[in-house]
């Protein structure tokens, strides 16, 4: 039985940010606002804009600030604009009428130029949380989202780690991911009693640091 579902990305992020051990794993995340977008781009150089309620990578937009303006990517389409006003106009045309969050963009480790992240799925059975899957998800060529429904490919976790980050210890990184997952389960279960299934989306940057990109209560 799946148990309680919680659609809001912001509520789950807020809960995890309350723990000082877990908070450093979370990219800077704020509710969407035009001035927040500008300040986060100035600070981080790249942001990802996500619907607060949404699945499958739908509606996700990436904005990259460079020396000549802004590169806006949605699905397989990229548009470069020179001014802040132009960027905000393009975003107003791309975004659906939903509420969004802005997340610090992470330059994910990749395989042959294709970004990679990791899905860790856990299920509560007979009062105990069990790991059901730990897999790498490789983005379809030309996309920055890794969702399988968008053409992403599944890889065994340690194989994905070795291909994308050959300089790190894949076994140690897997264990760090498992430990972090257990910490997050405890926080989320205390805040949202009744959850019975969780899917954690982790990203690793080029230095091998783990980032919590998203948590789902209805993981595919």
pLDDT tens sequence for the chain (220 residues)? 456 666 678 888 999 999 999 999 999 999 888 899 999 999 999 999 988 876 655 778 999 999 899 999 887 788 899 999 999 889 888 765 678 889 999 999 999 888 899 999 999 999 999 999 999 998 887 666 655 555 567 899 999 999 999 999 999 999 999 999 999 999 999 999 989 999 999 999 999 999 999 998 876 5
pTM comes to 0.89
Task: For 132, list phi and psi in degrees, rounded to 5.
Answer: -105, -30
Map out the domains of the chain with their CATH numbers.
9-25+107-216 (3.30.470.20), 29-104 (3.30.1490)
214 membership: H or E segment, kind and range = strand 210-216
Angle between helices 34-44 and 84-94 (to 10 degrees): 120
The full DSSP string for 46-70 is EEEEEESS--TTTT-EEEEEETTEE
Tell me how many degrees the CA angle 37-113-163 measures, rounded to the nearest 5. Answer: 120
pLDDT of residue 151: 57
């Amino acid at each position: 039985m799946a148990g309680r579902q919680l659609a809001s990305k912001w509520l789950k992020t807020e809960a995890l940010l309350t723990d000082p051990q877990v908070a450093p794993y979370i990219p800077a995340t704020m509710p969407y606002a035009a001035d927040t977008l500008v300040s986060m781009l100035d600070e981080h150089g790249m942001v990802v804009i996500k619907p607060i309620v949404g699945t499958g990578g739908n509606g996700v937009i990436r904005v990259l600030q460079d020396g000549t303006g802004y590169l806006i990517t949605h699905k397989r389409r990229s548009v470069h604009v020179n001014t802040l006003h132009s960027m905000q106009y393009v975003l107003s045309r791309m975004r659906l009428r939903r509420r969004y969050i802005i997340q610090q963009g992470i330059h994910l480790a990749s395989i042959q130029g294709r970004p990679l992240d990791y899905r860790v799925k856990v299920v509560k059975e007979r009062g105990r949380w069990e790991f059901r899957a730990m897999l790498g998800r490789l983005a379809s060529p030309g996309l920055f989202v890794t969702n399988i429904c968008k053409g992403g490919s599944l890889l065994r976790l340690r194989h994905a780690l070795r291909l994308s980050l050959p300089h790190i210890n894949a076994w140690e990184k897997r264990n760090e991911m498992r430990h972090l997952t257990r910490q997050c389960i405890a926080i989320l279960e205390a805040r949202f009693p009744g959850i019975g299934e969780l899917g954690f989306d982790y990203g690793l940057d080029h230095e091998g640091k783990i980032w919590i990109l998203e948590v789902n209560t209805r993981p595919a």
